[in-house]
Amino acid sequence: MGHLEKLVSEFNRYIPDKDMSSQHWVRNPFEARVGDVSEDIQGLQEELLELKNEAIFRQLHGEVTLGIFWTQVKQEKRVIGAEAMKVLLPFSTTYLCEQGFSALTAIKTKTRNKLEPVHDLRLALSKVEPQLEKIMQDRLQFHRSH
């Protein structure tokens, strides 16, 4: 088995192909029919009906991303919000993995290939901004005794 075939089989194992046609209600719940969602999950169809009739959510759907929309919906409608998150979650985690690979390839260049990238990678992927003024102020206080 060649390298690329092994790679494809590993991708298929971790990210199996899923029929997303039954999940189109996640993209636009206001155009979906009640029969489009599963009857197996108690309360799902009822919450879809309620959601479709709430103008505030209809307006919110047109203004924000799907992730933010379903996060807001989940606060009031737990069943349908949780089901939508199950559909959307693999896409965000895949994006985060791709972001990590891109950061790693930028860090591990030919001239830096022997360095340990753990701390650099953590810094590259972090959304936390360092408080440079506080860090510098602490360092200056440390050296004032001279």
Q: CA 95, 101, 104, 109: dihedral to nearest 10 degrees?
A: -130
Backbone angles phi, psi at 7, to 5 degrees: -60, -45
Exposed (0-12), middle (13-18) or buried (19+): which is 76, by Cβ within 10 Å? middle
Q: Is residue 142 part of a domain?
A: no
Predicted TM-score (pTM) of the model is 0.53
The count of domains in the chain is 1
Residue with tokens 């155009």: 31
**Domain that residue 108 falls in:** 3-122
**Interatomic CA distance for residues 42 and 60, integer angstroms:** 25
- Assess if residue 134 is contained within a domain: no
What DSSP state is assigned to residue 64?
A: S
CA distance 128 to 114: 27
Residue 140 counted as domain residue: no
Domain presence at residue 102? yes
49 domain residue, yes or no: yes
Instruction: Using only the alpha carbons of the chain, give its radius of gyration.
Output: 23
Rounded Cα distance between 46 and 22, Å, is: 18
pLDDT in tens, the chain (146 residues): 677 788 777 777 766 665 555 678 888 888 888 887 877 888 888 988 899 899 999 999 989 988 889 999 999 999 988 888 888 876 666 677 778 878 888 888 767 777 778 888 787 778 888 788 888 887 776 555 55
